[in-house]
């Protein structure tokens, strides 16, 4: 369900005495007018000027233990069932009820509900955000700021939060969460990719559109926005990457190590004509665009013991002296197939190996599937290139192209040949 804040505000206002409505309306218009004057000389400023459809993002999953504490910059309302509670400044404590539902504590009052709870800033809060503090046992609670609305439910005994936020406002945080550079053309390319991904992959999860992790796109809320990420989103508003008139399937990663690869080699499945291996080199010669990166070349070791438990845990092959061997490489040089010889034979992909090592030993060890491997001494020695899966846009290469004066359109067409940047006409 995609509700608009304006509609909710109308419902909310109906429930309040006329004097209060008048006062809130007056404050609202004063702030709006002031804001409008404020942006005439500065077209970059406010995130709330964006006008776009909402997306539903599940936030903080796996990080909430006992419950959450919600406050806001300015007054807010807590809506559930037939109740609509106006909260001036108190905190709203929310925990999951035993056997379902939610328990709310607001300024000494306690409520129980089996319905979803919606938390909405009232208009007078202007540019404010809703603040969620994790109610974990901690001297210093960790807080996160969100624009838009929060929908809170009890999901199998755990407090679940969905942030309902206009797409363009969501992107201001995603762009900054995924990338940090002074190079504005690279930032704009990132904004296009983030928007293209969001438009194409909406509804990626069953009950909501996106998670806030890298599975979808990293989204840290309003606290991570920067003036550069807001500018990048604003100056590309509504634009996506298109191929043959359809929204393209896009991927991006940190450092390709010299050449990008096709998604079919990494995850299997479809091939796309605009997602072929691209040499990350300045056309007409010159060094690698991402060559200055500390991830461009790397070395790592994995001891025999580490490898043995890794192979057993991740791939179910348990034998002393199990051997690992590179069998096939893809056209970019990445390891495509590896063979594990133990009590049984197992063939895995290089990407599966990278992910397994990342989960077991940390993501800084085997940074990509573009590596050489030697067995000797106390285990396995690796020499590799790049960071990430290597499909689509290389972030460090894009930053270098921006530095060389390329536009965001040229940067995108370099990594996604045959695509164009255009307005997305349909509904997201
Ligand atoms: Zn996800
Ligand atoms: Zn690169």
Burial class of residue 151 in the structure, from the number of CB atoms within 10 Å of its CB (0-12 exposed, 13-18 middle, 19+ buried):
buried
Greater pLDDT, 376 or 184: 184
- Please indicate, yes or no, if residue 379 is contained in any of the structural domains: yes
Both 163 and 306 in one domain: the answer is: no
- Please indicate, yes or no, if residue 344 is contained in any of the structural domains: yes
Confidence at residue 316, expressed as pLDDT on a 0 to 100 scale: 86
Q: Does position 112 have pLDDT exceeding 60, yes or no?
A: yes
Both 163 and 303 in one domain: the answer is: no
Give the ligand whose atoms come closest to the C-alpha of residue 399.
Answer: 2
Q: Which residues pair with 371 in a beta bridge?
A: 384
Å from CA of 197 to ligand 2 middle? 20
Both 161 and 305 in one domain: the answer is: no
Look at residues 167, 183, 204 and tell me which one is the last residue of a structural domain.
167
- Please indicate, yes or no, if residue 225 is contained in any of the structural domains: no
Distances (CA, A) of 386 to 165, 330, 359, 391: 34, 15, 18, 11
pLDDT one-digit tens code per residue, 228-248: 999 999 999 999 999 998 999
pLDDT over 70 for what percent of the chain?
A: 84
Give the ligand whose atoms come closest to the C-alpha of residue 59.
Answer: 1
Give the ligand whose atoms come closest to the C-alpha of residue 396.
Answer: 2
pTM score of the predicted model: 0.83
Look at residues 365, 384, 403 and tell me which one is the last residue of a structural domain.
384
Burial class of residue 218 in the structure, from the number of CB atoms within 10 Å of its CB (0-12 exposed, 13-18 middle, 19+ buried):
middle
pLDDT one-digit tens code per residue, 269-325: 888 999 999 999 988 878 999 999 999 999 999 999 999 999 989 998 876 767 899
- Please indicate, yes or no, if residue 18 is contained in any of the structural domains: yes
Greater pLDDT, 191 or 9: 191
Tally the domains of the chain: 2
Å from CA of 225 to ligand 1 middle? 20
Å from CA of 285 to ligand 2 middle? 14
Confidence class for position 209, pLDDT limits 50, 70, 90: very high
Both 16 and 155 in one domain: the answer is: yes
- Please indicate, yes or no, if residue 175 is contained in any of the structural domains: no
- Please indicate, yes or no, if residue 38 is contained in any of the structural domains: yes
Backbone angles phi, psi at 273, to 5 degrees: -60, -25
Which residue range forms the structural domain that includes residue 358?
Answer: 298-384
Give the ligand whose atoms come closest to the C-alpha of residue 202.
Answer: 1
Å from CA of 24 to ligand 2 middle? 52
Backbone angles phi, psi at 209, to 5 degrees: -80, -50
- Please indicate, yes or no, if residue 358 is contained in any of the structural domains: yes
- Please indicate, yes or no, if residue 88 is contained in any of the structural domains: yes
Give the ligand whose atoms come closest to the C-alpha of residue 261.
Answer: 2
Both 13 and 162 in one domain: the answer is: yes
């Amino acid at each position: 369900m995609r509700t608009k804040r304006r509609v909710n505000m109308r419902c909310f206002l109906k429930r309040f005495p006329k004097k209060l409505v008048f006062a809130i309306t007056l404050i609202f218009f004063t702030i709006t007018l002031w804001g409008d004057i404020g942006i005439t000389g500065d077209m970059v400023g406010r995130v709330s000027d964006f006008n776009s459809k909402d997306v539903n993002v599940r936030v903080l999953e796996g990080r909430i233990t006992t419950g959450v504490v919600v406050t806001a910059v300015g007054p807010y309302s807590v809506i559930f069932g037939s109740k609509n509670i106006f909260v001036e400044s108190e905190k709203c404590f929310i925990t999951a009820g035993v056997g379902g539902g939610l328990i709310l504590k607001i300024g000494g009052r306690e409520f129980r509900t089996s319905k979803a709870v919606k938390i909405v800033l009232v208009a007078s809060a202007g540019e404010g955000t809703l603040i969620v503090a994790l109610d974990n046992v901690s001297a210093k609670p960790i807080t996160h700021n969100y624009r838009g609305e929060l929908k809170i439910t009890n999901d199998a005994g755990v407090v679940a939060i969905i942030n309902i936020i206009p797409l363009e406002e969501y992107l201001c945080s995603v762009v900054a969460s995924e990338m940090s550079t002074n190079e504005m053309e690279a930032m704009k390319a990132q904004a296009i990719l983030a928007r293209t991904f969001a438009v194409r992959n909406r509804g990626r999860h069953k009950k909501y559109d996106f998670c806030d992790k890298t599975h979808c796109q990293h989204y840290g809320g309003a606290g991570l926005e920067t003036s550069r990420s807001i500018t990048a989103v604003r100056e590309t508003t509504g634009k996506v990457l298109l191929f043959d008139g359809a929204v393209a399937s896009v991927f991006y990663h940190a450092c390709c190590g010299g050449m990008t690869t096709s998604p079919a080699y990494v995850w299997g499945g479809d091939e796309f004509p605009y997602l072929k291996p691209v040499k990350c080199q300045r056309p007409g010669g010159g060094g690698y665009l991402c060559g200055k990166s500390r991830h461009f070349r790397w070395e790592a070791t994995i001891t025999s013991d580490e490898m043995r438990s890794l192979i057993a845990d991740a791939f179910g092959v348990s034998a002393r002296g199990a051997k690992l061997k590179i069998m096939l490489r893809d056209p970019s040089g990445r390891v495509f197939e590896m063979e594990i010889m133990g009590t049984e034979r197992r063939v895995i992909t290089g990407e599966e190996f990278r992910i397994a090592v990342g989960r077991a030993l940390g993501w800084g060890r085997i940074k990509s599937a573009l590596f050489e491997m030697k067995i000797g001494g106390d285990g396995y020695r690796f020499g590799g290139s790049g960071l990430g899966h290597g499909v689509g846009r290389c972030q460090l290469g894009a930053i270098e192209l921006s530095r060389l004066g390329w536009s965001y359109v040229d940067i995108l067409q370099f990594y996604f040949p045959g695509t164009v940047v255009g307005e997305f006409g349909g509904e997201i």
